[in-house]
């Protein structure tokens, strides 16, 4: 099948962020060091392909720390973070835990604890039910209220309007969050917030790349899983900039009907999607006669996070010469 498509633009940056890379490596290293099975609470990152690959290597994904995990088993907490009661339950059950929480999510948890200790009502901007939101709210459940929209802000009542602070989920739409923060400042002029933006650098950068790329495209395809917040936001950003956009897990989900009359296709991927999926999609187009493939570079990323201390210690012990 030949297409009318003449050109592919590949957004850069795209794909794995430092927190996702760290989390995936954490599970891989745990399997290397300790052998299978390694238990992982929730999906380590929100990507079906990554989860299936790790499952094939011996990772066992569980929803909660229930009796399916043997006492003393190696258990990894996902990149999205967990509430304190989860740590307490793991300790009660004698699990050997490895915390793969993204350092940028940990930053938000610390902000929540600080604002709570100072007596603030904390407004968390985020999506109900998202694992990151559940973990953050668990840090100070009596102090945090969740808002998802500007309408939620309008309906919000607090005990002391002079003692309000806001924090946010790290994977939201930058523009959407700005609008909600503006509404909060309008309603609570004394509101305070984090010293630096909570939105993840990778979320911001990937959205910026799509904003600049979308006007040059007839269609933007975003590779990512349906439960990936930041991937869904990329689709939203492309559409807000006037370009049709769809979220796909991989090249098998491309609907040929989307390509009718399309000459330039932009491709990006969410922060939890490996670049091999982008290359498979490019290959799908090449097989159909598309040869013009160009990187659309907006900025460079050089952020790296160290692996969790427990993994680094185990690696060092494994590498040490026997006495």
Whole-angstrom CA distances from 246 to 225, 242, 257, 287 are 11, 13, 12, 21
Cα 246–chain centre separation? 18
Contact yes or no for 153/178 (Cβ under 8 A): no
Rounded to the nearest 5 percent, the helix, strand and coil shares of the chain are: 40, 20, 40
Within 13 Å of residue 169, how many CA atoms lie on the same side as its CB?
A: 28
Give which of 303, 276, 285, 265 is closest to 10, Cα–Cα: 265
Sign, Cα dihedral of 108, 113, 117, 120? positive
Active site residue 287: no
How far is Cα 61 from Cα 69, in angstroms, rounded to an integer? 10
Rg, C-alpha atoms of the chain: 21
Contact yes or no for 244/286 (Cβ under 8 A): no
Token pair listed for 117: 């200790």
> Catalytic: which of 43, 111, 131, 132?
132
Within 13 Å of residue 26, how many CA atoms lie on the same side as its CB?
A: 29
Coil vs helix vs strand at 80 = coil
Active site residues: 132
């Amino acid at each position: 099948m030949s297409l009318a498509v003449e050109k592919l633009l590949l957004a850069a940056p795209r794909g794995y962020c430092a927190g996702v890379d760290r989390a995936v490596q954490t599970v891989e290293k745990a399997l290397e060091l300790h052998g299978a099975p390694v238990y992982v609470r929730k999906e380590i990152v929100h990507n079906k392909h990554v989860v299936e690959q790790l499952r094939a290597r011996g990772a066992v994904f569980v929803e909660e720390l229930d009796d399916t995990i043997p006492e003393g088993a190696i258990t990894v907490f996902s990149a999205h973070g967990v509430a304190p009661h989860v740590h307490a339950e793991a300790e009660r059950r004698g699990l050997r835990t490895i915390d793969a929480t993204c350092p940028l999510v940990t930053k938000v948890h610390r902000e929540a604890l600080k604002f709570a200790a100072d007596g603030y009502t904390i407004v968390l901007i985020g999506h109900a039910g998202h694992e990151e939101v559940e973990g953050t709210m668990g840090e100070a459940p009596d102090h945090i209220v969740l808002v998802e929209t500007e309408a939620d802000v309008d309906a919000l009542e607090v005990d002391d309007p002079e003692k309000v602070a806001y924090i946010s989920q790290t994977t939201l739409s930058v523009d959407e969050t700005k609008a909600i923060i503006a509404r909060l400042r309008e309603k609570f002029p004394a509101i305070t917030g984090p010293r630096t933006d909570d939105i993840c650098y990778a979320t911001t950068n990937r959205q910026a790349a799509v904003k600049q790329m979308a006007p040059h495209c007839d269609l933007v395809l975003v590779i990512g899983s349906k439960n990936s917040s930041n991937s869904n936001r990329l689709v939203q950003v492309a559409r807000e900039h006037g370009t049709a956009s769809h979220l796909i897990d991989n090249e098998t989900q491309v609907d040929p009907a989307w390509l009718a009359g399309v000459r330039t296709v932009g491709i990006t991927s969410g922060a939890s999607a490996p670049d091999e999926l982008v290359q498979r999609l490019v290959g799908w187009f090449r097989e159909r006669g598309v040869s013009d493939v160009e990187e659309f570079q907006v900025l460079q990323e050089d952020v790296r996070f160290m692996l969790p201390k427990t993994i680094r210690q185990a690696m060092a012990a494994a590498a040490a010469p026997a006495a």
